[in-house]
Amino acid sequence: MKDESAASVSLYETVHRQGMWACVEDDAANRASFYESMDADTRLVMQAVVRRCPHVFDGIKSLVDVGGGRGTAAAAVVAAFPHIQRCTVMDLPHVVAEAPAGTAGLSFHGGDMFEHIPSADALMLKWILHDWDEDKCIKIMERCKEAIGGKEAGGKVIIIDTVLGSRADDEDDDKTCRETYVLDLHILSFVNGAEREEHEWRRIFLAAGFRDYKITHTRGIPSIIEVFP
Ligand SMILES: C[S@@+](CC[C@H](N)C(=O)[O-])C[C@H]1O[C@@H](n2cnc3c(N)ncnc32)[C@H](O)[C@@H]1O
């Protein structure tokens, strides 16, 4: 973990004089290898999510995958849960411009999640919030809350991300724990983000105006956090 009040320039940016996201945006080869690696992770993680935690998607008719890249995670969700009638992948305009055309059941929306997120019953954020410091996470979660409406609308935010120090039930606990701390160092040095303990997640949710949350562990590093207004 890191001191989130520390300077916001990452080690990567100090060395390359340009942040990692700018390097991904500016260079087609960087972009291709970044999204290939994210897609490989997504195939593994989403298999666990849809098999072990299908209840998370119960009753959802519309979903936006925020920062959903080229749509690999959203495609896995709509294939597994045909009751989802409308599924939108939102990412930066240059990312969705390169998304594969004609993925069944998906539409793409180019935009900035710090400004506006399209409305839906539920939003999914997979490996998004660990890229950002606490203030930026609060801003993203405020936009999420606007997109799903108040408690009466019955919506939620589905976060797929790490919860540090909470895996006592995992058979593979030591290995998962070591991998998680390596991921923390990786995220810290590349984008100045952070892996978080439950109390740090709670602080973000409450500051963004959410009232409740529920954590479900998958086998492996990420957990699912359902956050309710
Ligand atoms: C670590 S990747 C995760 C991608 C995908 N969710 C996955 O798990 O494979 C973070 C994503 O956030 C997107 N992103 C970064 N800044 C964004 C912004 N301001 N608005 C929307 N998406 C953004 C990036 O383009 C990238 O696709």
**Which CATH number do you get for residue 92?**
3.40.50.150
Tell me how far the alpha carbon of residue 171 lies from the centroid of ligand 1, in angstroms.
31
- How many independent structural domains does the chain possess? 1
Residue 3 lies in a domain: no
Q: Which of 165, 178, 173, 187 is nearest to 219 (CA)?
A: 173
Q: How far is the CA of 150 from the centre of ligand 1 (A)?
A: 25
The 3-state DSSP class for residue 20 equals: helix
- Choosing from 55, 109, 130, 186, the catalytic residue is 130
Q: Is the CB of 67 under 6 A from ligand 1?
A: yes
Instruction: Identify the weakest region by mean pLDDT among 84-88, 132-136, 166-170.
Output: 166-170
The pLDDT score that the predictor gives to residue 161 is: 94
In a domain, 157, yes or no: yes
In-domain check, residue 121: yes
Q: Which residue, 186, 187, 82, is CA-closest to 133?
A: 187
Question: 145 in a domain, yes or no?
Answer: yes
Range of the domain at 174: 27-228
**Residue 4 domain-assigned (yes or no):** no
**Stretch 166-192: mean pLDDT, rounded?**
66
Determine whether 130 is an active site residue: yes
> How does pLDDT run across 63-104, given as a tens digit for each residue?
999 999 999 999 999 999 999 999 999 999 989 998 887 778
| pLDDT above 90 for 29 | no
pLDDT at 11: 79
Question: Does 116 score more than 90 pLDDT?
Answer: yes
pLDDT at 172: 59
> Hey, CA dihedral for 85, 144, 100, 50, is it positive or negative?
negative
Residue 177, pLDDT score: 66
CB 44 within 8 A of CB 212: no
Taking the C-alpha atoms of residue 93 and residue 85, their distance in angstroms, rounded to an integer, is 24
Neighbours of 160 (CB within 10 A): 23
Residue 216 lies in a domain: yes
Decide if 67 is inside a domain. yes
Q: What pLDDT was estimated at residue 169?
A: 52
- Residue 172: how many CB atoms within 10 A of its CB? 11
Residue 18 domain-assigned (yes or no): no
